[in-house]
Amino acid sequence: MSATQASSPPDSSAGTRDRILHVARELIQTRSYLGFSFQDIADAVGIRKASLYHHFATKEALGVEVMHAATQLFKDWSGALGGSPQDKLAAYFQMYRKALHAGHGVCPAGAMAPGWDCINDALRQAVRELRNEQMLWLAGVMGALRSKQAATISPAVVFATCQGGLLAARMTGQPADFDEAISHLKGPLLG
């Protein structure tokens, strides 16, 4: 079960762990890593705070697991995509807008940036792994584009624009702000 799917019954140890991961990811995406506590997770999951330590020794360990799950979700998603490079990039933009809830949340990796100096090295590395996975995928897809205009846009620009678009949409609560941010990429890349 992925970190974004519904959790299993409360009496299952694996189900509780999955619910914890699901709630943690939602809180990271809507409040940032620094904006929630273990108590917030315990309340949302319906368990005692002390029970969280059975599954995750620290908040950082929980954050690392959320990032690893997000990385695996991206690998699974991108590995299942078919179509042309333009189709894949269109799906990437759509994934950012829909799956990452433009206007209501941000990417779990992007949500770590505000507290970058407050998180440990293992969590920073897990965030970098998610970014690197996306950058490698973007480089491969964009390398297959034939347009001269598309060749002037780097994978880093696409990634940063999507991240910035999510932040702008989160500030206003308007998914249209995400659409506006990426509209300047769509013409040269998807045209």
Span 162-185, mean pLDDT? 95
Q: Is the pLDDT of residue 11 over 90?
A: no
Residue 188 has pLDDT above 50, yes or no: yes
> What b/e sequence results for 76-93 when a residue is b if at least 16 CB atoms lie within 10 Å of its CB, and e otherwise?
eebeeeeeebbebbebbb
Q: Is residue 127 part of a domain?
A: yes
Question: Is residue 23 domain-resident?
Answer: no
* Mean pLDDT computed over every residue of the chain: 90
pTM value surpassing 0.85: yes
**What CATH number did the domain enclosing 105 receive?**
1.10.357.10
- How many whole angstroms separate alpha carbon 113 and alpha carbon 131? 12
Total tally of structural domains belonging to the chain: 1
Domain hosting residue 122, numbered range: 59-190
Q: What would the mean pLDDT of 181-191 be, rounded to a whole number?
A: 91
The interaxial angle of helices 13-31 and 59-80, nearest 10 deg, is 90
Give the Å distances, CA to CA, from 147 to 44, 66, 85, 162, 189: 48, 37, 11, 21, 8
For residue range 91-141, what is the model confidence (pLDDT) as tens digits? 999 999 998 899 999 999 999 999 999 999 999 999 999 999 999 999 999
Residue 110 in any domain: the answer is: yes
Q: What is the token pair recorded at 71?
A: 């990385």
